[in-house]
Structure 1
Amino acid sequence: MEADASFSSAIKSNPSRHRPGPSQVPAECQRQGLPPEGAPSMQQFNRKCSMPERLIRTISSIRSLPGDSVESLIRRGADVNCPHDTLMPLHSACMVCDPDCVELLLENGAHVDSQDGYQRTALHYAAEKDVLCVEILIEYGANPNALDGNQDTPLHWAAFKNKEECVLALLEGGAKVNTRDYNQDTPLSWAVMKGNLESVRLLLEHGAQPDTVNLKGQYPAGRLAALMGRGLGGEREEECLELLIRASGQLRLKRGGGLPPEAARDAHLCQRLTELCSYPCTLKALARRVVRGSLGECLLSEAVTELPVPRSVQDYLLLKE
């Protein structure tokens, strides 16, 4: 950063005759591991380091100044909504998974849905890291369906990182399970492209549609097939595939048929997927797909138990068989 560059430059430019003794070396030099020759005064360093920068340095524990704390900087007038470069204080607290700091900033006026230089809200960062931060932000009114510059929601990122608790907190906080990004991919697509079984299961339990198609003509199962074709498939990916087949009634990978290029390169996988795709959807499986879809975006286990059907049918609707 500019302050660090100026600090180092000042160190190098001073002549050796001004070299201080050990007792004269500022603590900041010693703490940062900088050479003692001609070190500038702490006052000079403070002038180079703006208050917004100092606040974010302190939140992130990145070469903060001695004596600085988030509380003291706020008392001295630090603006909790002022960015430094692309960084915002609230976003930085979520990046380092510090729920206490998140709450402190919100209590002192931090805008819960402010966007940083990447058009991301603090909830986008919290969703891929820490459920406590997610819960605090939602409690303070954060929009669970906020879009970043790529139209990704916090739920997309929680599913991609397989943060199961964050996925659940977002869904319970009002996140739309079938929201789409710029490529028309849903959180379910993001989860299956990584083989994130826990997130896949949670999303399907909350009404995720298993047969959406993105702009490239890919179904969620096609994303998963591409992962398996790269040799990254295992038991978890097999379970994901089975869940998708149960939820949709029939395996579909690409609009118009065919296999992802990655899967087509694996002869055994190619043959297996081709066979699975050729099986017609049974009336029973189609009925399950229609009933699940008609219940909408909700916790299906609660909705299904209200249906006047036998327990065995309820279990079938909930993909238990």
Structure 2
Amino acid sequence: MSALVIGHRGAPGYRPEHSAASYRLAFELGADAVEPDVVATRDGVLVVRHENEIGGTTDVAQHPEFADRRTTKTVHGAEVTGWFTEDFTWDELRSLRVRERIAELRPDSAAFDGRERMLRLADVLELLREHEQTTGRRVGLVVEIKHATYFAALGLPLDELLARELAHSGWSAETGLVIESFELGVLERLKASGLDARYVYLIEKAGAPADRVARDGSAARTYADDLTDSGLDALAAAVDGISVDKAYLLPWTPLGSSVGDLVSHAHRRGLVVYTWTLRPENAFLDSRHRTGDGRAAFGRWQREFDEILSTGVDGVFADHPDLAVSRTA
């Protein structure tokens, strides 16, 4: 069975991420599922942004009426300056237009800056419904919960907001609903609430989850601890799968993981394995697959994609869904 191709924030290799055009293009390019990241507004509306800081992905800086909202905050130990979704109502955010996040690498996508407004999760659900009604093809939904511990401290529990949003949506594990997060606690709470989905735990190549750090400080168990035999055993009892930084699946990396080992170890415990993110530009490829044409040029992406897919991974997140589909066909 070929790996699931998940349009990472739609098709952001071609259109600004999390825009309606990005999602629609992902559908057209053959993505099996799409991945919206969710954060919250001040009035509890779930909006789709990769981060709660929106200065780099919207035109908020060009709105003088919001100049006084620019501030500096600490988000999971990192100091960030900009504009934050939790300081706006949805009515205010809907006036903003989206922009390409990495314009220097993706000028073709940046050509679409300013054309479309921000989206709520509800808007993405509607785009998925429209696509299925028009084509008869269902595209799956992979929702990533961002900064759950941070938002809970603000009185905006993302698990409760998401459960309410999806309660009568028709989405379930059977219809292709996956919920993921870098924080295991929020997944466990949602699962205990009875929300019918497949739950996938995201794993960074370094550091520790924010919920554990908030609870245990410097003694917090790390992401690497989750990938030991005992860690995988515990995850198998808590979630349906893991989604790992692609570095875990590439040979000759500083992580020292052998190709296929992690996937086979997880599979033996009944865990599915996804990985992120497949991107063709030199800037994102392993050094062995780069060419000499600059950071924005496409390197030998086919080799890297094939290398990752050869591990038997169950799903891949891709910025250019058509390229990933071409290697899984």
Higher strand share: 2
What TM-score, normalized to structure 1? Answer: 0.28
Q: TM-score, normalised by structure 2?
A: 0.27
Between Structure 1 and Structure 2, which shows a larger proportion of helix residues?
1
Larger Rg: 1
Q: Give the number of the structure with larger relative contact order, counting CA–CA contacts within 8 Å between residues 6 or more apart.
A: 2
